[in-house]
Amino acid sequence: MAETSQAHTAVTHLPQALEPRNPGMALDMDWVLRARANRSAIERRAATLPGRRSVKKDFQAAWLARAISCIDLTTLSGDDTAGRVARLCAKAKQPVRADLLDALGLQGLTVGAVCVYHDMIAPAVAALHGSGIPVAAVSTGFPAGLSPFALRVAEIGESVAAGAGEIDIVISRRRVLTGDWQGLYDEMRQFRAACGEAHVKAILATGELGTLQNVARASLVCMMAGADFIKTSTGKESVNATLPVSLVMMRAIRDYFEATGYRVGYKPAGGISKAKDALTYLALVKEELGDRWLRPDLFRFGASSLLGDIERQLEHHVTGAYSASWRHALG
């Protein structure tokens, strides 16, 4: 990762860039079936990244601030309440203590979005009013995606009507596992249509797709069907975001951009809880997709505890001492 910016210039707040939305295209089965994934080469490439790419001091602080701006701050628990969501939204608007931001010379830093279940959209929208931070809602029978199809489509409509600006849908894994690419495409097209102006993130649940080749093909099909983002996981699978899976998905995004001219976003989710891991993912994005993807309109972390560790690292940068993790609660 090139050390090209100081902490005080990393984020003033990053505006949402005006990128043409991916309209999708006709399903190109020849392209889908040509997609391959050399597992051993992918794993070797991914294994070298953490050791090769590191940033220190002011540069690290700058990249950690960038990571914060790309977080979908998430709570997806059965015991969520309006009060908990309101506290999470307060943290989304002020993700780092004011004294640390002043010391770093950062102004207007917020997270990328707040991600909740449908029932928590209304309190999230109210708590974020005027902040410019969108509410993302998980939908379509999250996390398994096995509810009746008509109900999954209707759930999207309900969430959009409630104020969600982004919808994280889950695909039917069985369509990937059985090679039903037309069925996956048709399903994704209907989900995209139901979202209307709300942006749609297609969750592939990569830990349940069997092979990296399936990940590559599912990524292409969802983008062809109009996905604005492709996302690794629900966070509920036994295996969530990994660097090899991320490499496969990013290269599919790059191929799609080169073929169509449309940029599709990427969201790793599940298991990314440490600042050092966030830096590794940012390095991979920079190397595979380029600087344009290092903004919240094209890159997000799906995370709940990552922000606390990043804030802890920023405090260490400012004070020279590590604080206890409990001092950086999310709500």
58, 201, 231, 297: which one is catalytic?
231
The question of whether 57 is a catalytic residue gets the answer no
| HEC sequence for the chain | CCCCCCHHHHCCCCCCCCCCCCCCCCCCHHHHHHCCCCHHHHHHHHHHHHHHCCCCHHHHHHHHHHHHHCEEEECCCCCCCHHHHHHHHHHHHCCCCHHHHHHHCCCCCCCCEEEECHHHHHHHHHHCCCCCCCEEEECCCCCCCCCCHHHHHHHHHHHHHHCCCEEEEECCHHHHHCCCHHHHHHHHHHHHHHHCCCEEEEECCHHHCCCHHHHHHHHHHHHHCCCCEEECCCCCCCCCCCHHHHHHHHHHHHHHHHHHCCCCEEECECCCCCHHHHHHHHHHHHHHCCHHHCCCCCECEEECCHHHHHHHHHHHHHHCCCCCHHHHCCC
Is 276 part of the annotated catalytic residue set?
Answer: no
Annotated catalytic residue: which of 58, 72, 168, 309? Answer: 168
Known active-site residue 267: yes
The residue from 267, 277, 297, 309 that is catalytic is 267
* Catalytic sites, residue numbers: 168, 231, 267
